[in-house]
Chain A
Amino acid sequence: MYGLLVLVPIVWTVALGFTDKTRFAPSTEWVGFGQFERLAGNDQFWLVLKNTFVVTAVVVIVPNVVGLAIALLLDRETRLYRLLRSVFFTPVILSGIVVSVIWQSLLRPDGVLNAVLADLGVSSAPRWLADPRMALFSIAGILCWQMLGFCVVVYLAGLNAVPRELYEAAIVDGAGWWRRFSSVTWPMIAASVTINTVMLLISGFKVYEHILVLTNGGPGRNSTASIAFDVIEKGVRGDRIGSAAAEATVMLAIIVLLSGVVLRLLQRREVQL
């Protein structure tokens, strides 16, 4: 069944990428690399690809760094800190649709965030979702907000597994805070870094519903569309199945390549311990 509903579709997608299939065309022909050539010559495709990389880069970096900082801050076993952990974790279990709906109401031109900024004296608040250059970062930011708690919890578990003796030994040796972090903590939580980076990479790359709710790919043409969004728009909601499949094939190749490289790099760091 896995074969039928996952493996067959993958092969099917790749195969469709070499056809000119559309939903209503009477016949479908093999066009070789035609679809890929057309994609390569299409500005919109490159824009969508660039958007995907921008969102993914932000989403891989920000929650990783901020999440680690917050985990270091919350690494205490009292009731207050345990409660705060749950606070950070809550968005992780909310659906992307609910998160997007919430943020959409906050980021509207007359929304809550701009009302707060106006109270603080900011007169020309950014047009969060209406400015083509801003909107992509708004979406990336929302995704960061949602994934942050995941990183915090994974890092806390990693920190928890670091043997206390190592810190005691470092203190005896006169190591300061930074030295203890860089020589003890950082290498010891390598596995957590791997998990978070891969998880963030995958969730950044497949972002779909946030875009659908918040901007529907706009403003303008495709200014915030990701590759996953474009594939669905073309192939499932639209009828350019062959073109969408070619794009999905590119997406598949990138994610396999990227996670392979990242995993290899990060795990080499783990093994060296």
Chain B
Amino acid sequence: MRLLRPVGAVVGAALFFFPIYIVITGMLKPASQIQASPLGLPTAPTLENLRAVLGREDGLFWSSLLNSVQITVFSVVLLTLLSAMLAHYLVRSRASWTRPALLVLLAGLMIPPAVILQPVTQVLDLAGLMNTMGGVVLSNVAYYLPFGVFVFAGFIGTVPVDIEEAAAIDGASRLKVFWLVVFPMLRPASASVMIFLGVWVWNDFLNPLVILGPESGTTVTVGVYRSVGEYSTNFGTLYAFSFLASLPVLLFFVALQKQFVAGLTAGSVK
């Protein structure tokens, strides 16, 4: 009876993990072995599939990796700064319009991207930002702003206001108070905002697909999608592409596991 729990847990987890096992082993097998024994361990591991993706003649993997990194870094940095500032302003300001403003923002958490995508493309088109990375970054910043504000606003409520007032009395400007006093105190909230948004923006598919369009390059997720057709007969290569596209978030997850869970629970238990 004592063994029931660990054995049950391990068996359950193993069944659950099965698809990922198939990807990792499949990626290391030559095509013939994937067909012959899909379940077995790779008897003669090969890096051919990974090499085929990394060494593609059109450089699809590397160019989409570069695009994904740029879009994610710019989006996350902008989002963290803007949503921290906005949340701080909305929570601390005594003006009567800030509470409704906060509620309108939070309602934005629920809007499915499909509802607004068409007009977003028209706004970006008017601004000359369609088919540019800037357009993708901008739409990410707008779309995910409510989440950032939501996390920061919850956190700012727990930080004492006295320190800020003391700094203001000492003659620090508003911006200085925010940058030197408030922002450093928000570090735990910043960490969870950056982790979440980093993963979401990296995994985003619809926005980069539509806004970047076919001519101006792809992100890794769009790259995976585009290569589905080409590799339809060669799952080893498709697995390798999927794996490489997910590798950055997976490494990120392994490195920051504690913060991941802490960030998730900080947002959810509240």
Contacts and interface: CB of A to CB of B under 8 A. Distances in A.
Interface of A: 1-2, 4-10, 12-13, 16, 70, 73-74, 76, 80-81, 84, 86-91, 93-98, 101-106, 112, 115-116, 145, 148, 150, 153-154, 157-158, 161, 191-192, 195, 202, 205-206, 208-209, 212-213, 227-229, 231-232, 235-236, 241, 244-245, 248-249, 251-252, 255-256, 259
A9 B38 CA distance: 47
Contacts, number: 208
A231 B113 CA distance: 10
**Across chains A and B, which 4 residue pairs bring their CB atoms closest together, nearest first?**
A95-B203, A5-B142, A157-B265, A9-B119
A86 B265 CA distance: 15
Given A112-B39, A256-B107, A98 B221 contact: yes
Interface residues of B, number: 71
Given A2-B105, A96-B203, A255-B110, A106 B121 contact: no
B127 to A, nearest CB: 9
Interface of B: 5-6, 8-10, 12-13, 16-17, 19-20, 22-23, 26, 38-39, 104-105, 107-108, 110-123, 138-139, 141-143, 145-146, 199, 202-206, 210, 221-222, 224-225, 228, 235, 238-239, 242, 245-246, 249-250, 253, 257, 260-261, 264-265, 267-270
Q: Which of the listed residues A9, A229, A231, A236 has the most CB atoms from chain B within 10 Å of its own CB? A: A9
Contact of A13 (B12, B116, B205): B116
A112 B38 CA distance: 6
Nearest to B145: A2
B15 to A, nearest CB: 10
A104 B139 CA distance: 30
Contacts of B239: 102, 105
A188 to B, nearest CB: 11
A248 B122 CA distance: 16
Given A88-B13, A208-B206, A10 B115 contact: yes
B8 A5 contact: no
B212 to A, nearest CB: 13
18 contacts: A1-B142, A2-B108, A2-B146, A5-B123, A5-B143, A13-B119, A90-B250, A93-B246, A93-B249, A94-B246, A95-B203, A104-B228, A106-B19, A154-B264, A191-B270, A229-B114, A255-B110, A255-B112
Nearest to A196: B268
Contact of B6 (A80, A212, A259): A80
B20 A90 contact: yes
A236 B210 contact: yes
B221 A87 contact: no
Contacts of B221: 95, 97-98
A73 B121 CA distance: 47
Given A97-B221, A191-B269, A195-B268, A5 B138 contact: yes
B238 to A, nearest CB: 6
B22 A98 contact: no
A90 B105 CA distance: 30
A195 B113 CA distance: 20
A97 B123 contact: no
Contact of A192 (B142, B210, B268): B268
Q: Which of the listed residues B17, B112, B142, B206 has the most CB atoms from chain A within 10 Å of its own CB? A: B112
Contacts of B228: 101, 104, 213
A8 B115 contact: no
A59 to B, nearest CB: 14
A86 B16 CA distance: 12
Given A6-B142, A112-B39, A157-B269, A98 B246 contact: yes
A231 B245 CA distance: 28
Contact of A145 (B16, B113, B138): B16
A119 B17 CA distance: 20
A41 B112 CA distance: 25
A74 B242 CA distance: 29
A233 to B, nearest CB: 10
B9 A73 contact: yes
A10 B116 contact: yes
Q: Which of the listed residues A80, A95, A208 has the most CB atoms from chain B within 10 Å of its own CB? A: A95
A114 B227 CA distance: 24
Nearest to A111: B38
B216 to A, nearest CB: 16
B206 A5 contact: no
